[in-house]
Structure 1
Amino acid sequence: MSSKYNYPEILTWLEQKAKQDYGEKFQFLEQDIANITKLIAYFLNDEETTNQLGIDLTKGILLSGPVGCGKTTLMTLMKYVAPKENKFYLKTCRDISFEFIKEGYEIIHRYSRGSYSQSEYKNYCFDDLGVESNLKYYGNECNVMAEIILSRYDLFISRKVKTHITTNLSASEIETMYGNRVRSRFRAMLNLIAFDKTTQDKR
């Protein structure tokens, strides 16, 4: 893989950063290197490498895999790699759901439209999609994350704003929880980087 970047060197450097953040026992596992390299190439805006890996730099990232495979940790580590234009804010879907209970529909606008007083729209990583549940605000049930994702798809189309997501869900589980519209938007706005599940979803 030819590139202006030295990926073995970057991986070593990033692993050292991770040891500082998460303790000396932290290490990248050999079977995860391919996916970590994809993430690094994406957040470095390395067009040559991402083209070879089939990753579209105009889209966001959908990082999927089983519980405990390190999705959140890896996305957090990307703050060391990403240049200013690729910076993003990481927010757990569970926290967004709790905010919705307290503040209502304004939360959907906060994570989609952004603030009207600002011209910039934020790139977000919504962490652990699927752990939140449909919540009620004054008796009205709302699938909060589905509404936010649909709104952010519109931002992706109109303003090229990126959304990243981590999840334990399979594609069919995403469709069950959030509907076919959300699954179809995912295909359009996200690059899938998937860690192997011990048990493959055959549905």
Structure 2
Amino acid sequence: MINPSKIVEGGVEYSLGTFTGTELIYDFSKILTYLEAKGKLLFGKKFRIIDEDHLTWYKLANYFIKDQEKCHKYNIDTDKGILLSGPVGCGKTSMMRLLKHLVPHQRPYEVIPARNIVFGFNLIGYKIIEDYGKSGLFCFDDLGIEPEGKFFGNDCNVMGELLLSRHDLFLNHNLKTHLTTNLNANELEERYGSRVRSRMRQAYNLIAFPKNAKDKRN
């Protein structure tokens, strides 16, 4: 019988909690141990999870394992996507790349830099918005620092248009999208407009690092 509380990485078995036969009871300290080990495999031996970030990890882990009681405490809706906000270098991208490995039984999302989508638009035009906007599970990374799109002389706020398409997927097909950004709510509205910002409130859980979060790249 497969035990869903166990994950094997690099030949080492990690426990995420206790499996009763019908229910998996997660242990956050064990989750952190696994995520740090997986992080070292993905990002190098210097990767570590610092104490100051534990609350952010806690909120996100409970979202991904769908612990409804703990999510309710932090006003997190597991039917919505994640909007992970924080200063440059605080570890947003690493978090979103890591956390999908915590729930291997769930359909994984792909982490795509927003600037890459704009570069694609500049090459092939509106088909890129259609391709990313009609299906699939994605985390659009570094939203807000991408350049403006331009195709045959026509300017386009590519990610703004794509977010509107993804919102339709959320409403009509319960398909979630995740985002990471360095921008705050006002800056997002300035960048993408009130229409997009309004839909973001409906479709995303805002989880934010403290403004003084450390830059892990230093």
Q: TM-score, normalised by structure 1?
A: 0.89
Partner of 1:41: 62
What amino acid is aligned across from residue 163 of structure 1 in structure 2?
A: T
Q: State how far apart, in whole Å, the 1-side matches of 2:123 and 2:166 are.
A: 22
Partner of 1:94: 115
Deviation digits for residues 122-161 of structure 1 (CA, Å, limit 9, x no counterpart): 1110000011121211111100000000011111011110
What amino acid is aligned across from residue 207 of structure 2 in structure 1?
A: I
2:174 equivalent to 1:153 = no
Structure label with greater radius of gyration? 2
- Please give the residue correspondences for 1:149-188 in structure 2 after superposition, counting only pairs within 5 Å: 149-188=163-202
- The partner residue of 2:47 within 15, 26, 32 is 26
- The partner residue of 1:112 within 123, 133, 147 is 133
Aligned length: 190
Of 44-53 and 161-170, the range deviating more from structure 2? 44-53
Q: State how far apart, in whole Å, the 2-side matches of 1:92 and 1:180 are.
A: 23
Is the CA contact (8 Å cut-off) linking 1:135 and 1:143 kept in structure 2?
yes
| SS of residue matched to 1:85 | coil
Task: Tell me the CA shift for residue 32 of structure 1.
Answer: 0.5
Is the CA contact (8 Å cut-off) linking 1:44 and 1:83 kept in structure 2?
no
Q: State how far apart, in whole Å, the 2-side matches of 1:193 and 1:106 are.
A: 31
Deviation digits for residues 156-199 of structure 1 (CA, Å, limit 9, x no counterpart): 01111001000000111101110001111110000011011139
Q: State how far apart, in whole Å, the 2-side matches of 1:79 and 1:4 are.
A: 18
Distance 1:39 1:86, change over 3 A: farther
Q: State how far apart, in whole Å, the 2-side matches of 1:52 and 1:159 are.
A: 27
Give structure 2 stretches of 5+ with no counterpart.
1-23, 214-218
Give structure 1 stretches of 5+ with no counterpart.
114-120
Partner of 1:193: 207
Is the CA contact (8 Å cut-off) linking 1:43 and 1:86 kept in structure 2?
no
- Please give the residue correspondences for 1:64-83 in structure 2 after superposition, counting only pairs within 5 Å: 64-83=85-104
Greater relative contact order, per chain length (Cα 8 Å cut-off, separation 6+): 1
Partner of 1:116: none
Partner of 2:149: 135
Is the CA contact (8 Å cut-off) linking 1:43 and 1:83 kept in structure 2?
no
Identity %, equivalent residues: 48
